[in-house]
């Protein structure tokens, strides 16, 4: 089969709390199965067609990085939306998740335009939502760590990634965590999230691969270590 392509958006700007671990996880799970693949780095200002990728990953970042990335995303918004509509799989975490909504309004009233993949908007709140999180989702239980000041509100028709049973989730006042549009998944889960949630990692690969590759069935891997890590994280206060 042809190479599976993982695109890492803004690797030098949006990599807080080890979010690059998500890219490493996807790459290793392909390597362990003997599936040819490559990772394309897509820095701010680069000319890259996301329609050529199978899975796109973007992480969280500090405020100054998020501002820079927001301007870049607006420039490539049409290409992002085309890729989402075409079935490319996306995982966007924290700051990137916020910018995939309609807008981000900081606590001082300043505003960053989003690209509207999710029917959602984020406003800066007082204090930060910090701690371990458990989310019940269509992909089973997801565990991770959140640390965000923004409160994200989903539109009435916007699907969430899952329901929080521990932690704050999107805004601390409801049970929603994350958002899903087509094969684009937004979440506040750091950790990074995919190493402790191998089923979710494989679902991203399967969804991304089914568009351009004939093989969409992934062989089983021994995930005993990953499952143990997830169980341990779920018991932490």
Total length of the chain: 237
Q: In what order do the strands lie in the sheet with 184-187?
A: 37-42, 4-9, 55-58, 89-93, 184-187, 179-181
Residue 115 tokens read as 């690209």
| Catalytically active residues, by annotation | 94, 190
From CA 85, how far away is CA 181, in angstroms rounded? 9
CA distance 164 to 151: 15
- Quick check: 23 and 74 in contact, CB under 8 A? no
Question: Would you call 54 helix, strand, or coil by DSSP?
Answer: coil
């Amino acid at each position: 089969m042809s190479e599976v392509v993982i695109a890492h958006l803004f690797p030098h700007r949006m990599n807080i709390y080890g979010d690059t671990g998500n890219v490493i996880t996807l790459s290793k799970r392909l390597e362990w199965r003997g599936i040819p693949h490559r990772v394309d780095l897509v820095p701010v200002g680069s000319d890259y067609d996301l329609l050529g990728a199978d899975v796109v990953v973007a992480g969280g970042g500090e405020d100054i990085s998020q501002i820079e990335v927001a301007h870049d995303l607006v420039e490539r918004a049409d290409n992002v939306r085309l890729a989402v509509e075409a079935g490319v799989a996306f995982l966007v975490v924290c700051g990137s998740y916020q910018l995939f909504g309609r807008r981000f309004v900081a606590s001082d009233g300043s505003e960053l335009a989003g690209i509207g993949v999710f029917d959602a908007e984020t406003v800066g709140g007082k204090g930060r939502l910090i701690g371990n999180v458990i989310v019940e989702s269509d992909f089973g239980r997801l565990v991770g760590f959140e640390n965000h000041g923004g409160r994200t509100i989903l539109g009435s028709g916007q699907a969430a990634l899952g329901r929080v049973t521990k932690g704050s989730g999107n805004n601390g006042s409801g049970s929603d965590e994350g958002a899903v549009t087509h094969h684009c998944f937004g979440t506040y889960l750091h950790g990074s999230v995919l190493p402790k949630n191998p089923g979710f990692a494989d679902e991203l690969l399967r969804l991304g691969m089914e568009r351009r590759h004939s093989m969409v069935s992934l062989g089983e891997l021994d995930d005993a270590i990953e499952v143990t890590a997830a169980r341990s994280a779920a018991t932490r206060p």
